[in-house]
Amino acid sequence: MIGAGCGSYVGITISLPVLAAVYLALLLFGVGYNWLTSQAEKTGFIRGYTSLFVVGGVVVTLAASAVISLAFALVTAGAFVFSGAPMIVGSMIRHKREEMRQLQQAREEARHGNPSEEMAAKL
């Protein structure tokens, strides 16, 4: 596809109007997804699982990239899987460890009493 408003890069023909539409759609998605993430943070829904929200954004971006080049989007998706999977698993493990630490701390306080509460009761 050669002509006005088109370009070719590494064997991928890109229609500039299509590229502009994809970028505009991603910008609008980003604004909406930021609002959704903000609401999820306020309610605590996202706590410990922020990485999954990031995955959601990446999937939408890859889908939009597929409009331009499916092959490039698939290669990029593979790269994201290999670079992102360790971060997602690590994030979930850290979150669960923190939950377990807090639970253990609450159990210890229940078993032995909270010294700061006992001091406050005496005052």
The residues near 21 (Cβ < 8 Å, ≥ 6 apart) are none
Examine residue 65 and state whether it is found in any structural domain, yes or no: yes
Mean pLDDT of the 16-38 span: 94
**pLDDT digits over 60-75, tens only?**
999 999 998 899 899 9
Give the total number of structural domains in the chain: 1
Q: Flag whether 42 is in a domain.
A: yes
Cα torsion 105, 107, 113, 114 to 10°: value is 30
Does a structural domain hold residue 117?
yes
120 pLDDT tier (thresholds 50, 70, 90): low
Q: Do residues 46 and 53 make contact, with C-beta atoms less than 8 angstroms apart?
A: yes
Asked whether residue 10 carries a pLDDT value surpassing 80, the answer given is no
* Burial state string for 15-43 with b = 16 or more CB within 10 A and e = fewer than 16: beeeeeebeeebeeeeeeeeeebeeeeee
Q: What is the pTM of this model?
A: 0.68
The domain of 43 spans: 6-122
Quote the percentage of the chain above a pLDDT of 70.
83
User: Has residue 51 been placed in a domain?
Assistant: yes
**Does a structural domain hold residue 1?**
no
Q: Which residue has the higher pLDDT, 4 or 103?
A: 103
Sign of the Cα pseudo-torsion (97, 115, 44, 41, in order): negative
